[in-house]
Amino acid sequence: MRVESVKYEPLAKVYRLASKNAKVFRTHRYCCLGPGDDVVVKRNGVAYVRCQNGYAQILPIYTARDDLYIGQKKISIVVKEIETEEELIGYHQLEEYHYRGKVLHGRRVPLIIRSNDPLLPTVLGYIELATAFIMNKPRAILLDDTFRDDTGKVSWTNWKKETVRQYTNLVVRIARTVVSPEFRGLGLARILVKHASRFARNHWHVGKLKPLFLEITADMLRYVPFVESAGMHYIGDTEGNLSRVNEDMSYILKNLSRVKNGEILKEETAGIVDLQVSYATKLNEIEHKHGISRERLLRLLLRSPERLSDDHWALLHRILRLPKPTFLMGLTPSAERFVQKRIKKLGLPSRYPTQRPAKCTPALESPIEVKGCTLELSASLVRTRATRKIQQAFGVDRDMLTTRLFSDLDFTIQPGDIVLICGPSGAGKTSLLSLLKQRLVDPDSSPQWTAGSITVPARAIVSTLCTLTSSRPLINSLGRCSFERALFALNVSGLAEAHLYVKRFRELSNGQRYRAMVAKLIASEANVWIADEFCATLDPVTANIVSRNLRRCAKELGVTVIVAAANWVDFVYELRPDVTVHLRSPWDCRVFSWGELQRAMERSLYLRGPSINESGAHQEKR
């Protein structure tokens, strides 16, 4: 039955089908179905759209279970199409937070990640599929060869004008990938891309075509090409619109009313015309609101973006599109074989040459050796009438004001190790961390009140976790490093929202500030990172994300990391320290490898918590 019309409701679409009884058909709000589509409805409620190259399922909706791991905790999640009001609200909240009301053009379908944990947000993230733009140079080059799909119903010998017009809808585009800010860094974006490819393969359709290729084009992929881990391949950079924006805008502005009325540039299925018209509309608004003549605006569009003044950049930057990396994958075996064959023939890199920070500073040349180290701290006795009474009543003398924090401590830190110094408050974690830092910064120093030796390598460069004092935008506050290095550090630290890059440190939340401090460590060219009270102010989820990303970057860059923490159990499975120095008391200091620490934690009744009887009450020893 053919779809004749569609009516939109808050949570649904209602379709009128061409039949003797004027049958009505209902789907969810973002169903990939429109007028002219041919629907096949089975008796069991399963519904398909008949396409030129197969059938695309529209009911039941896409729903797939997956797992999210935070430390040792496994959280069950569901990736699905939106069907409830709660899901729609969660999706719109994330959309508004991240995009501030910016609208996508063309047909679109969001998939959300839903959690049923009552203490977590309903929607943890979403990915949005949309119609592909007609023009994409890397795609055009890649597809410009003989192709025949598995069904034998789609084929071409070259990707020229007629083929583009006929088959652009064989490509579906990832338009947006959004993860809730507190869950960035846990791999949710990769999970979303994986399910987007599965959804596109069986559920997406436009213009009576099921897609054969999944595509994404985005600036952020220069710094975090997360789609590669989901099977997508880099195929080149787009041209942007700088070479033709003046000409396009000039034509559309002259004919704006005719374009809006659909008299010219009419395009039914792809969003590029809508996008161009929106750019021209913005220019038209700028012309009237700011009193800048059309001729002046069009001349400004001929300039390089770097040459625009701050004021002109602020007005025009939403219209200018710079070249962006494009990634693509085949959704069927034949399409994927074709993509891989073309990548090899065109000599494209097997992985995207991402702007990741290079190892600017060599790793430590030799281990840090701590042998027989003992630390004592002394306090002076201040004479007052009250302290004399204390001395008289409790027998306090000067000797009692000397405290031994630890004694005969032995451990070795190899270059590139991650070290955790832990133990209760007052056990000496900060003091030991300060000793190590002092020796690394000044190998000839001789700290007082110590016995034993701390041997350190030469040419150690130390960076310490600390508050950012700069009042400049965050992207400019990470020290003397390149733009690419700063952006990479912010992204992997979990500060991947574009609006945060331009905020100042004092304008961030406490959790965001801590991530910014971690970003400064990562952006530094130090080969030793030191952090006291590591993750002390963070919730368990954020602590795990920070620990995971810190470890990954440190191992990638060959950096030695030494952190101290009192509350370390929540994040230790993500940090996975190579060496753990556990300071329990002056006479009880233990050193564990990661494997030894895991076994100790598994045997520890303290870490497992109190036993619980069948009624759920705590058992008490009597």
pLDDT tens by residue, 604-617: 876 655 444 444 44
Asked if residue 12 is part of any domain, the answer here is yes
Q: Each residue of 55-108: pLDDT tens digit?
A: 999 999 999 999 988 888 888 999 999 999 999 999 999 998 888 777 776 689
Instruction: Indicate if 169 and 194 belong to the same structural domain.
Output: yes
Pair (84, 209) in one structural domain:
yes
294 is a domain residue = yes
Whether 147 shows a pLDDT value over 90: the answer reads yes
Q: What percent of the chain has pLDDT over 70?
A: 82
Does one domain contain both 34 and 153?
A: no
Q: Average pLDDT in the 346-363 region? A: 77
- Torsion of Cα atoms, 380 then 384 then 390 then 392, to 10°: 100
The whole-number pLDDT of residue 4 equals 87
Closest CA to 338 of 225, 131, 170: 170
Give, in order, the Cα–Cα distances in Å from 270 to each of 25, 108, 242, 298, 517: 25, 11, 21, 26, 43
- Residue 426 placed within a domain: no
| Lowest mean pLDDT segment, chosen from 53-67, 275-289, 415-429 | 275-289
Residues 159 and 261 in one domain: no
When mean pLDDT is compared across 94-98, 123-127, 564-568, the lowest value belongs to: 94-98
pLDDT at 168 over 50: yes
Q: Does 178 share its domain with 75? A: yes
Q: How far is 130 from 27, CA to CA, in rounded Å? A: 18
Indicate the pairing of strand 123-131 with strand 108-115: antiparallel
Helix (H, G, I), strand (E, B) or coil at 39: strand
Q: Which residue has the higher pLDDT, 375 or 277?
A: 375
Other beta carbons less than 10 A from residue 598's beta carbon:
15
Per the model's pLDDT, the better-predicted residue between 497 and 562 turns out to be 562
Domain assignment of residue 428, yes or no: no
Of the candidates 461, 368, 393, 428, the one whose C-alpha atom is nearest the C-alpha of residue 582 is 428
Same domain, 234 and 249: no
Residues 89 and 209 in one domain: yes
* Residue 214 scores a pLDDT above 60: yes
Q: 542 in a domain, yes or no?
A: no
Residue 622 or residue 611, greater confidence = 611
Indicate whether 155 and 272 sit together in one domain.
no
Whether residue 213 sits in one domain with residue 108:
yes
pLDDT of residue 491: 83
Same domain, residue pair 113 and 156: yes
Average pLDDT for 309-326: 71
Q: Partners of 589 in the beta sheet?
A: 583
Distance between the two ends of the chain, CA-based, in angstroms? 76
Secondary structure of 257-296 as H, E, C letters: HHHHCCCCCCCCCCCHHHHHHHHHHHHHHHHHHHCCCHHH
Please state the rounded mean pLDDT for residues 110-131. Answer: 93
DSSP 133: P
> How far is residue 595's CA from residue 325's CA, in Å, rounded to a whole number?
41
State yes or no: cis peptide before 225, omega within 30 of 0: no
More confidently predicted of 289 and 447: 289
Asked if residue 277 and residue 297 are part of one domain, the reply reads yes
Identify the pLDDT of residue 612. Answer: 41
- In the numeric block, the tokens 């990470």 are attached to 478
**Domain boundary pick from 276, 296, 316:** 316
- At residue 69, the pLDDT reads 87
Buried b / exposed e over 342-353, threshold 16 CB at 10 Å, is: bbeeeebeeebe
pLDDT average, residue stretch 424-445? 88
DSSP for 336-381 reads HHHHHHHHHHHT--SS----PPP--SPPPSS-EEEEEEEEEEE---
Are 168 and 156 in contact by the 8 Å Cβ rule? The answer is no
Helix (H, G, I), strand (E, B) or coil at 22: coil
pLDDT above 90 as % of the chain: 46
Pick the most confident of 35-44, 170-179, 262-271, 298-307: 170-179
Average pLDDT, the chain: 84
CATH code: domain of residue 153: 3.40.630.30
| Domain range enclosing 289 | 245-316
Q: Is residue 226 part of a domain?
A: yes
Residues 191 and 271 in one domain: no
Question: For 220-254, how does the pLDDT look when each residue is reduced to its tens digit (9 = 90+)?
Answer: 888 777 899 999 999 999 876 555 565 666 655 66
Q: Do 529 and 560 form a contact (C-beta atoms < 8 A)?
A: yes
Span 172-180, mean pLDDT?
A: 94
Instruction: Please indicate, yes or no, if residue 379 is contained in any of the structural domains.
Output: no
| DSSP-based three-state secondary structure for 501 | helix
pLDDT of 268 higher than 60: no
Let me know if residue 566 belongs to a domain. Answer: no
Give how many domains the chain has, as a whole number.
3
The CA distances from residue 60 to 18, 27, 35, in Å, are 22, 9, 20
